[in-house]
A and B are shown apart, each in its own frame.
Chain A
Amino acid sequence: GQNIDQPTEMTATEGAIVQINCTYQTSGFNGLFWYQQHAGEAPTFLSYNVLDGLEEKGRFSSFLSRSKGYSYLLLKELQMKDSASYLCAVRDNDYKLSFGAGTTVTVRA
C-alpha cells in the first residue's frame, strides 16, 4: 500500500512563492503526480515526475527525490486563481494512483 503525507493547509500572499511538500512510503513506485482541484470542481493534472530532479512548467515546478520518498510542488508568482487544493499522488507498479489528502492553498491579496 501507499502512505502519502502532505500539509493540510497553507496561506501565502499574491506574488509570493509557496512550496508544498509531499512525502510517501510505497510498496512500489512508478511515478509521482500533482493535481490541482478548485473547490467544487474536478481535479486537473499539473505535473509528473518519475526520475529524480526538477520539472518546470511555467510558474509551477515539481521536484522528486526517490531515495528520500519526497516531492514538492513549487508555485511561483502566486495569483488569486491559484487558491485551490493540490493533490500529491503516487502510481504503483500496477499503474494505480494513490492520492494524499490534499493541501489547500489560500492566496491573499
Chain B
Amino acid sequence: IAGITQAPTSQILAAGRRMTLRCTQDMRHNAMYWYRQDLGLGLRLIHYSNTAGTTGKGEVPDGYSVSRANTDDFPLTLASAVPSQTSVYFCASSDSLDYNEQFFGPGTRLTVL
C-alpha cells in the first residue's frame, strides 16, 4: 500500500542522546517535510526538502538536522536531545512544494527525559 512510514512509533530518550527519526515514502513525491505537534501550538514546520539533494529550514529548525540523499527517505536527526523536544513528530510529502495536498505519516511520539 502506497504511503508514508515512520519509525519508531514511539521512543523514550535520555537528554543528551542522539536520535534519528526515519521517514520513507513510496509515492515518488519530490517534496518532503518534518513537523512537530505540541498541545496548544499546532503543527510547526521543522525542515523541508523540495527535491532530493536539497533541504530548507522551517519555523523551528534549531536542534534538528535533515538530509535527503534520495527521493524516498528523509531522516530527521536530533544531535543532542533536550526535554523541550518532547513532541509528536510527523513526516509529510507532496508531489511538489506547490502541490496542494500534503500526505502525512502516522507520527513518532518522542519523550526526552
Contact = CB atoms under 8 A, between A and B. Distances in A.
Interface of A: 1, 4, 31, 33, 41-45, 48, 87, 89, 95-102
29 contacts: A1-B59, A4-B42, A31-B100, A41-B106, A42-B90, A42-B106, A43-B104, A45-B100, A45-B101, A45-B103, A48-B100, A87-B42, A89-B43, A95-B97, A95-B98, A96-B45, A96-B48, A96-B58, A96-B59, A97-B43, A97-B45, A97-B102, A98-B45, A99-B35, A99-B42, A99-B43, A100-B42, A101-B40, A101-B42
A41 B98 CA distance: 24
Contacts of B103: 45
Contacts of A45: 100-103
Interface of B: 35, 40-45, 48, 58-59, 90, 97-98, 100-107
Given A33-B100, A43-B104, A87 B43 contact: yes
Contacts, number: 43
A98 B59 contact: yes
A44 B103 CA distance: 7
Contacts of A97: 43, 45, 102
Contacts of A87: 42-43
Nearest to B3: A42
Contacts of B45: 96-98
A102 B39 CA distance: 9
Nearest to B4: A42
B42 A102 contact: yes
Given A31-B100, A95-B98, A101 B41 contact: yes
A70 to B, nearest CB: 18
Given A96-B48, A98-B59, A43 B101 contact: no
A4 to B, nearest CB: 8
Q: Which 6 A-B pairs have the closest CB atoms?
A: A42-B104, A99-B43, A99-B42, A101-B42, A45-B101, A95-B97
